[in-house]
Amino acid sequence: MSLTVVITVTFVVVYFGVTLFLCRGVKLSTREICLCGLCIAMSLVLESFRIPLPTGATVPFASMVPLMMLSIVDQPRVAFLSGWVCGILAMFFVPAWQPVHWGQIFVEQLVCFSCLGYAGIFGSDKRWKVLCGIVLASVLRFCGHLLSGVVFFSQNAWDGWGAWGYSFGYNLSQNLPLILMSAVIVLALPLKTLGRMVKRSA
């Protein structure tokens, strides 16, 4: 087993171990199920609108925002569960998804959508806490895409770049604009007002 595979497996196992621990005892109310369905649908629609780049990558239009907002205005573990469902559905409804290997589902789909739930892990009462959550969620998402690119798409590496260099360049060109776009939108929204509205509807 190569070092790259060991790193990838370790990352996935640790990620799921921590995330499942945070999800322990979760019970979804009817309101939360409706919120989950709405955010999942919005994410899938936004994932389908993509801006092509010269690197061959495509940038989905602010598709991180719905699940991030679900985590911030409700609770992270609800967003984790929604992210897992969204990741599975994206395989069927997002044309840009490229199936290569069954392991890709765990490294890319399940990690890169559910990790958006970490946007609200530090709380939402201060914008700096939300920003820290967005940074954590974005780093986890990038790591998932990076490792997926190295393990499953190394055959597409540009001449002279190698698997790691190619995956880093390709995914940075795709994720950086998406992260910046999503962060600006989330931080510009009236988070406290939205949070109070969600709590009042409970």
pLDDT confidence of residue 102:
83
pLDDT confidence of residue 20:
95
3-class DSSP assignment, residue 52:
strand
pLDDT confidence of residue 1:
56
pLDDT confidence of residue 41:
96
Indicate the angle between helix axes 65-73 and 30-48, nearest 10 degrees. Answer: 160
| Residue 97 pLDDT greater than 80, yes or no | no
Question: What is each CA distance from 96 to 48, 49, 102, in whole angstroms?
Answer: 8, 10, 17
Global pTM value: 0.92
| Residue 201 pLDDT greater than 80, yes or no | no
Q: What is the DSSP letter of 59?
A: E
Question: What is each CA distance from 63 to 43, 85, 101, 166, 175, in whole angstroms?
Answer: 5, 15, 24, 24, 11
| Residue 55 pLDDT greater than 90, yes or no | no
- Region 94-115: mean pLDDT is 86
Q: Which of 123, 119, 157, 114 is nearest to 136 (CA)?
A: 119
Q: Which CATH code for domain 29-200?
A: 1.10.1760.20
Q: How many CA atoms lie within 13 A of 43 on its CB side?
A: 29
